[in-house]
Structure 1
Amino acid sequence: MSTNKIGVVALTALVFSSMVGSGVFSLPQNMAAVSNGTALLIAWGITGIGILFLAFSLLYLSRQYPELDGGIYNYARAGFGELIGFCSAWGYWLCTTVGIVGYVVIAFSALGMFVDTKEHIIFGEGNTLYAVIGSSIFVWLVHGLVSRGIKEAAIVNLLATIAKIVPMVIFIIFSFIAFKLDVFQLNLFDLSLKTPVWQQVKDLMLITLWVFTGIEGAVVMSSRAKHRNDIGKATVLGVLVALIFYVMVTVLSYGIVSRAEIAGMQNPSMATILTHLIGLPGTIVITIGLIISVASSYLSWTLFATEIPYLAAKNGAFPAKFLKTNANNVPIASLWLTSVVVQISLIAVCFFNKNYTQLLLISSVMILLPYFLVSAFYLKESAQKRHAKHIFIAAVATIYALWLIYAAGVSLLLLSGTLYTLGLIIFFYSYWTHKRQSAKQ
C-alpha cells in the first residue's frame, strides 16, 4: 500500500500549480477587456490583501485544528453543522470538476493554434469531435496516473510545475525590456470604456478569484502531508509566488501596447504579446507552456476532486461507497466519479458547443461559498477565543469573501443556488443511509 507522504516542496507545487493553470496565459486580454490601468492596480490591491489574508486563515486553521483534515469541508462542518459542511464539500467538488473540464477544453483549443486552418477546423475552441476524442484519452491517462498513488502523482505535478514556470519567466523578461512608461500612463487613465472605475474593479473580481482558485490545495491534501506545519507554509508561499507572477504579467502588458489592442487580442493573449515582441517563437513558447500548465493543473485538481468526496463520506455526508480505496491508498470510487463526470461533461461541451469562458464562470461561482465558510469559521473561533490578531485576519478574509459574492452578481448566484439545491438530494440520501447503519450497529 502506498503510504508515502507529500513534503513541503511538492505541497507548494500543488498549490501553485492548481492556481496557475490556463488563466494566466489569457489574463492580459481578460483584464484589458473590462478595465483600465487604474482599475487593474486597485483590483490587484484588493485581491492581493484579500487572498493573502485568506491564505493566513488557512495557515492558522491548519495549525489550530490539526485533526480537521481536508479543511474546506471539515472547517465548514465543524463551524456550522453537517448540512453546511456538505454544501461546502459539494460546491468545492463541483468547482474542481467543472474547472478541470475547462482545463482540458482550453488545452485542445491551444493545440488548434498549430493544426487548425480556415478550411479545416480540427480542435477549434476545444469543443469539436476530435477535441473530445483527444481530451478523453488525456482524462483516462491522468486517471491511471492518480490511481497509482497520490505521492507519485504529486511528484509528476512538481516536475510539470517547474516546466511551466519557464515560459512565464521568458514573457516577463522580454516584457520588462519592452516596457514603455508613456504607454502605461495612457492605459492608466484610459477613459474609452466609459465605465466607472468601481464597476471596472467589480468586473475584475471574478477573474482574479479564478486565477487564485486552488489556494486551499495543501489544506485539502493535509492528510497526505509529511508535517502539519508544511500545510500553512505551502499555502502562503504558493500564493505569494502566484501573486507576483500575475501582477507582473498584467502590469507589464499595459506598458507594451494600448489597452484596446490588448482587449482585442486572441487568447492566449500572452502568446500574442510575446509574438509582437520576438516573433513566432513567442507563440510557440507560450502555447507549449500553456499546454504543460493546463496538464499539471488538471492533475492537481483531479487530486483535490478525488479527496473531497472521500473525506465527506467518512462523516456520512457522501454515500459510503466513496470510502473505497485501492491497493495504493487512493480513494478509487471518488476518482472514478470525477473521471466519469469529466468525460460526460466533455461530451456535453461538444454537443452544446460551450466554451472555456462559460465553464470558468460556473467554476468560479461554486467556490464562493466554501471560501466564505472557511473565513467565517476562523472568525467565529477567533471571536470566541478573543484573540485580536486572529480576529483581524479572519475579519479581513471574511469581508473579502463577501465582496466576491457581491461582485458575482445575481444571475451567477442564482445558478449557484440551483446547483447547491440539486446537491441536497445526495446529502439527505447519504445522511439517512448513514443514520440507519449507525442505528443497526
Structure 2
Amino acid sequence: MAAGQKMSRAQLTAMVVGGMVGAGIFSLPRTFAGATGPFGAVIAWLIAGTGMYMLARVFQALAERKPELDAGVFAYAKEGFGDYPGFLSAFGYWIGSCIGNVSYWVLIKSTLGAFFPVFGDGNTLIAIVVASLGIWAFHFMILRGVQQAAAINKIVTIAKVIPIVVFIVILAFMFKADMFRYNFYGGDLTDSVFEQVRATMLVTVFVFLGIEGASVYSRYAQKREDVGVATLSGFFIVTTLMVLVTLLPYAVLERSDIAGMRQPSMAAALEAVVGHWGAVFVSIGLMVSVLGAYLAWSLICAEVLFTAARTRDMPKVFATENRNKVPAAALWATNLVVQLIVISTYWSRDAFSLMLNLTSAMSLIPFLLVAAYGLMIVRRRETYDAIRPKERGRDLVITVLATIYTIFLLYAGGVKFIVLSAVLYAPGTILYVWARREQGLPVFARVSDWVTFVAAALGAVVGVYWLATGYITI
C-alpha cells in the first residue's frame, strides 16, 4: 500500500475517540437516571470500564502477537473457532455497526425536533427524508478517498470534544453536594442495586463501541505498535468524559427530572442549569460529534465487509475497490442497509433506544469470540515461547476477565435482544453460503457449524413469532 494511505498514531487514536464519542455520550444523563442513581452508576462504570479495559488489552495483545491477522475483530474469531463462527462475527459486527449508524441519524433528527417540531423524535417522514439525503451525501464523500475522510475525522474529533468539556466544567462549577447525596441511591427507585446496574449494561456497551477502531484499521497503521497505543489512549480519554457526563447531572438536578428529559438529555440538562443557550450549544456540539462518529463508522463498516471479502469470508464482489482505493461495493452495501433500517424507524415507538440496544446486542458475539480467542492462545502458549514469555500470567488474568465480562453482558442484555439478533444472524447466512459456493467448498465443514446455524435459525423463528404476537415490541 502506498505510504500516503498509512495512518499515524494520532489518526488511529482519533479513529478510536471519534468512533466512541458519538450519539451515546449525549444520551447518558437520561439513560442512567432512568435506571439508577450515582451509586449504581459508579458500580456500572467500574464493571464496564474494567471489562472494556480488559477487552482493549486483549485487542492490544492480539495486535502484537498475531500481526498477520490484520482484519481486526472477525479475523480472531475465524482463526480460533473456524470459518462459520468467523463469518458470523464479521456479519454481526457489520450489521450492528450499520444499526449504530441509523441511531446517529435518529438522534440528529430528535435534536432538531427540539427546535423544529416537524422532526418529532427523529422518526417522522420529514426526518427520514432528511436522514436519507445525509446518508448519500456522506456516501459520495467517502468514495473520494479513505485518507481524506480520516483526516476530516481527526479535525471533527477535536471539535466535538469541546462542548462535552464545557458541559463538564459548568456542571462541576454548579455542583451541589446535598442534591448529589439525595440522588445517591436512586431516590424513589425500588429495584435492587444489582438490577439497576444490569439495566445500564447494554448502554455502556454502546458507548464503548469504537474501542476496536484502531484494530479494524490495523492494515493502515504506519507502525504495528501504534494500534495498541491508540486503543488504550482513546479508551482512557473517552472513559473519563463518559463517567463525568453521567455523574455530574445528579449534583444539579433530581434523578426523576433527568430521567424525564427528551434525548439528547445532555442538552436538556445544560438548559435546565444555564438556560436555552445551553441546549443550543450542546445541540451544535452533538451535530458535529454525531456526524463525525457517523463518518468514522461508515469507514469501519465498509472496511469490515471489504476485509471479510478479501479473506474470502464474504462474497468476492465486496472486495472491489475504486480508483481512490475505497471499498466501493462494500460501501454501497452498507449504506443500502442503513437506508432500509432508517425507513423502518418510521414504525418504531422509541427508535433511538431500539437502535442503541440492538447495536450493542449484535456486537456481543464478536466481542465474546475475540476474548475467548485471546484466552485460547494464552492457554496454548502460542507465541509466548518466542515473544515476552513472562507476560503469560498477566495475559491469562486479562483474557479470563474479558471473557467473563462479555458473557455477563449477554446475560445482562436479556433474552429479548439475543433473540432479535438471531433474526438478523440467521438470514445473514445467505452471504456465507454464497461465498462458500464461489470457492467450491462445503457450506458447513464441521458438526459445530451445523449446531450453530440451527441455534441461530431457531432463535430467528422464535424472534419473528414474538414480534408477530406482540411479545416483543419495537
* TM-score, normalisation: structure 1: 0.95
Secondary structure at the counterpart of residue 5 of structure 2: coil
Alignment of 1:35-434 (within 5 A): 35-116=36-117, 122-350=118-346, 355-385=351-381, 387-434=392-439
CA drift of 1:61 comes to 0.6
2:271 corresponds to which letter in structure 1? T
Give the secondary-structure state (helix, strand or coil) at the position aligned to 1:195. coil
Q: CA offsets per residue over residues 36-81 of structure 1, 9 Å max, x none?
A: 2211111111111111111111111101111111210101111111
Deviation of 1:353 (Å): 6.2
Shift of 1:432: 2.0
CA 1:182–1:336: 2 relative to 1, 3 Å: same
Deviates more, 1:273-282 or 1:201-210: 273-282
Amino acid at match of 2:260: G
- Report the CA distance between 1:348 and its aligned residue: 2.2
Secondary structure, in 3 states, of the residue corresponding to 1:214?
Answer: coil
The one-letter amino acid paired with 2:54 is: F
Of all paired residues, the percent bearing the same amino acid is: 39
Q: CA–CA distance in 2 between the matches of 1:352 and 1:367?
A: 21
Q: Over aligned residues, Cα RMSD in angstroms?
A: 1.5
The SS at the match of 2:439 is helix
Alpha-carbon distance, 1:307 to partner = 0.7
Query: Residue 251 of structure 1 aligns to which amino acid in structure 2?
Result: L
Q: Show structure 2 runs of 5+ residues with no match.
A: 385-391, 443-474
Is residue 252–residue 273 contact of structure 2 (8 Å, CA) maintained in 1?
no
Q: Greater RCO between the two (CA within 8 Å, min separation 6)?
A: 1
Deviation track 1:3-32 (CA, whole Å, cap 9, x = no partner) reads 521111111111111111011111011001
For 2:463, the equivalent position in structure 1 comes to: none
**1:190, 1:304 → 2: CA distance?**
38
Aligned residues: 432
Counterpart amino acid of residue 115 in structure 2: F
CA distance in 1, matches of 2:234, 2:84: 31
Q: Which runs of 5+ in 1 are unaligned?
A: 117-121
**Deviations along 1:245-299, whole A, 9 cap, x unmatched?**
0111111111111211111122211112211222111011110011111100100
Q: Deviations for 1:194-219, whole angstroms, at most 9, x for unmatched residues? A: 10000111111111111101111110
Aligned-partner residue type, residue 129 of structure 1? L
**Cα drift, residue 150 of structure 1:** 1.0
Question: How many Å apart are 1:125 and its aligned residue?
Answer: 1.6
Per the alignment, in what secondary structure is the counterpart of residue 265 of structure 1? coil
Question: Would you identify which runs of 4 or more consecutive aligned residues in structure 1 move more than 4 Å?
Answer: 351-354
Distance across 2 between alignment mates of 1:435 and 1:64: 32
1:20 maps to amino acid: V
Distance 1:320 1:198, change over 3 A: same
Tell me which amino acid in the other structure corresponds to 2:12. Answer: L
Cα 1:331/1:115, change in 2 over 3 Å: same
Say whether the 8 Å CA contact 2:202–2:412 is kept in structure 1.
yes
Partners of 2:431 and 2:178 in 1: how far apart? 57
Report the Cα distance in structure 2 between the residues aligned to 1:391 and 1:77, rounded to whole angstroms: 21
Cα distance, 1:436 vs structure 2: 6.2
Aligned mates of 1:436, 1:82 — CA distance in 2:
11
Q: Distance in 2 between matches of 1:225 and 1:30?
A: 36
Change (3 A) 1:412 1:436: closer
Partner of 1:114, secondary structure, is coil
Report deviation, 1:190.
3.3
Q: Secondary structure at the match of 1:267?
A: coil
Q: Which amino acid aligns with 1:103?
A: Y
Counterpart for residue 12 of structure 2? 11
Indicate how the Cα distance of structure 1 residues 84 and 195 shifts in structure 2: closer, same or farther if over 3 A, else same.
Answer: same
Worse-superposed segment, 162-171 or 180-189? 180-189
Tell me how far 1:420 sits from its aligned partner.
1.4
Match of residue 119 from structure 1: none
SS state at 2:79 partner: helix
Letter aligned with residue 379 of structure 2: A
User: In structure 2, the residue corresponding to 1:407 is in which secondary structure?
Assistant: helix
2:225 and 2:120 mapped to 1: Cα distance? Answer: 45
State the Cα deviation string for residues 92-138 of structure 1 (Å, max 9, x = none): 0011101101111111221122222xxxxx21122122212211121
Out of 278-287 and 428-437, give the one that drifted further: 428-437
Q: Residue type matched to 1:85 in 2? A: G
